[in-house]
A = this chain, B = another copy of it.
Amino acid sequence: MSENGNGNGTTGKKTFIIFSGEMDKVLAGFVLSNSAAAMGDEVTMFFTFWGLNALRKEHPPKTHGKSFLQTMFGMMMPRGPKKLALSHMNFAGVGPKLMSKAMRDQNVDCIDEMIATAQEQGIKMVACTMSMDVMGLKPEELIDGIEYAGAATYLSEADEANVNLFI
């Protein structure tokens, strides 16, 4: 069991902003979140900007009312955890496949398994509505079981937490 910074024996809440959509950083976010939840901490993950790509469905329903720019963003950004790039050694998409293989070899879960574990553990996953508006992502394009909110909600959650990271 973890103790919070006040040393009073209670577990502490944690928040993680998942800003980067790079596979390795998303992975780090889920490893920390799932570990904290397993230790009894309340965890909120706030997905914003490129981080939203980790929540996209691989085969989303058709959407309407997107601007040309938003359609273009939607087409160019990776759809879901299997399409994310690495921040280093990406090698036009070969890097993430090799990294996934190296993880499987060491019995480390891949990102979609980690997302499932996060949802099973009751981790609150929040999609940033302002980023969704700018990029033209609709709720039906993102996985089920998540919440939608803006920066003010994030800040209120962070105020209650004892560890807050921007990943």
- A interface residues, Cβ below 8 angstroms from B: 2-7, 12, 14, 17, 19-21, 24-25, 28, 31-32, 35-36, 38-39, 41, 48-50, 67, 69-70, 72-73, 76-77, 87-89, 98-99, 101-103, 105-106, 108, 130, 133-136, 150-152, 154-156, 158-167
- Give the shortest distance, in Å, between A29 (CB) and chain B (any CB): 9
Give chain B residues whose Cβ lies under 8 Å from the Cβ of A152. 35, 38-39
Q: Are B3 and A24 in touch, CB under 8 angstroms?
A: no
Ranked 8 nearest A-B pairs via Cβ: A35-B151, A165-B166, A106-B133, A2-B159, A158-B163, A69-B102, A102-B134, A163-B164
Question: Complex: how many Å from CA A154 to CA B14?
Answer: 13
Question: Complex: how many Å from CA A28 to CA B154?
Answer: 12
Question: Complex: how many Å from CA A24 to CA B150?
Answer: 16
Question: Complex: how many Å from CA A162 to CA B17?
Answer: 16
Chain B residue with the shortest CB-CB distance to A152: B35
Question: Complex: how many Å from CA A41 to CA B159?
Answer: 10
- 22 residue pairs of the A-B complex, CB under 8 angstroms, read A3-B156, A3-B159, A4-B159, A5-B160, A5-B162, A6-B6, A17-B165, A19-B28, A19-B167, A28-B49, A32-B154, A35-B151, A39-B152, A41-B155, A69-B102, A72-B98, A103-B134, A108-B133, A108-B134, A158-B163, A163-B164, A166-B167
Give chain B residues whose Cβ lies under 8 Å from the Cβ of A3. 156, 159-160
Question: Complex: how many Å from CA A49 to CA B22?
Answer: 13
Q: A28 is contacted by which of B4, B36, B48 (Cβ under 8 Å)?
A: B48
Q: Are B49 and A69 in touch, CB under 8 angstroms?
A: no
Give chain B residues whose Cβ lies under 8 Å from the Cβ of A7. 160
